[in-house]
Amino acid sequence: MEALKTQFVPTWCAGCGNFGIFTALKKAFSLLALDPEQLALVTGIGCSSKISQYINSYRIETLHGRTLPVATGVKLANHQLTVIAEGGDGDGMGLGMGHFIHTARRNLDITYIIHNNQIYGLTKGQASPTSDLGTVTKFTPAPQGNVEQPINIVQMALQAGATWVARSTAADPQLADIMAQAVKHKGFSVLDILQPCVSFNHVNTYKWYQDRVYRLDTLPEYDPADHDKATSVASQWGDKIPIGVFYRTERRTFEDSLPQLANRTLVEQPLENISVSLLMDEMA
């Protein structure tokens, strides 16, 4: 884990769920024995996206909501890299929703880790796309609170075509192991991590999650290969919240379907004798 350290110190609020995710992520990288020089971490904008500053690898902090298209570009430029995208529920399910849908259906070999605190933390506590109905914030005041139907990330991933879908919590002792599974899967992996925001979300706390979550592997004969069952169980939210691997399957990845990448990566291909003049003439 020493090779993963940077000179920067995390600046999250004391007790933030990002600390648990950060620790688990470094442990997962160690379990997988990943070479930092073969790892690309792409993040958006938000408290969660600061994680790229604290891990010694290739990293890009891109625009708000644009994590996945940038990660797609990295993967297609050098499909030999391990590419991990990270961002918050606001970043990915708000401005980034369209990119999420298309990345899932294309099935790029990218791991997407979503820090889901059901609030906009960096901008001081507005309701996010995953905020529960009735959530009271400065922009969704009492008595009604939030009136918009929240997005269930696991359900959305299953419907869009992700080939590996799971949910965990920032306090889950098995989080590093499930992260390692996500990275090892060849295809689009989606890991929804429920995490408290100790500053602006005083409802969805560590105890709130602890009182509600249960593991899918405790269900009799649960089979992650059964998409219909995964979709049915994913709809549960409230008094009971399932965590674990909902679904996994194998499907040809987007990059494996491209003949341009069959022999070598794009970055290894020669640039000699390439001319765009004909294309430019057509556009003139």
Average pLDDT of the segment spanning 102-115: 98
Residue with token string 């992700």: 162
Q: What is the pLDDT of residues 82-97, one digit of tens each?
A: 999 999 999 999 999 9
pTM of structure: 0.94
| Secondary structure element (H or E) that encloses residue 114, with its range | strand 111-116
For residue range 117-145, what is the model confidence (pLDDT) as tens digits? 999 998 999 999 999 999 999 889 999 99
Domains of the chain by residue range: 2-283
User: In this structure, are strands 82-88 and 58-61 parallel, antiparallel, or unpaired?
Assistant: unpaired
What's domain 2-283's superfamily in CATH? Thiamin diphosphate (ThDP)-binding fold, Pyr/PP domains (3.40.50.970)
Contact 187, 107 (CB under 8 A): yes
Q: Output b/e per residue, 29-46; b: 16+ Cβ within 10 A.
A: beebebebeebbbbbbbb
**pLDDT, position 238:** 93
Alpha-carbon span 167 to 183, nearest angstrom: 14
Residue 187 pLDDT greater than 80, yes or no? yes
Say if residue 257's pLDDT is above 90: yes
Q: What is the pLDDT of residues 188-234, one digit of tens each?
A: 999 999 999 999 999 999 999 999 999 999 999 999 999 999 999 99
Q: How confident is the model at residue 1 (pLDDT cuts 50, 70, 90)?
A: low
Report the pLDDT value the prediction gives residue 274, as an integer from 0 to 100: 74
17-29 pLDDT, tens digit each: 999 999 999 999 9
87, β-bridge pairs: 114
- Residue 279 banded pLDDT, cuts 50, 70, 90: confident
pLDDT number for residue 5: 81
Which of 17-26, 65-74, 264-273 is predicted least confidently? 264-273
- Residue 131 per-residue DSSP state: P
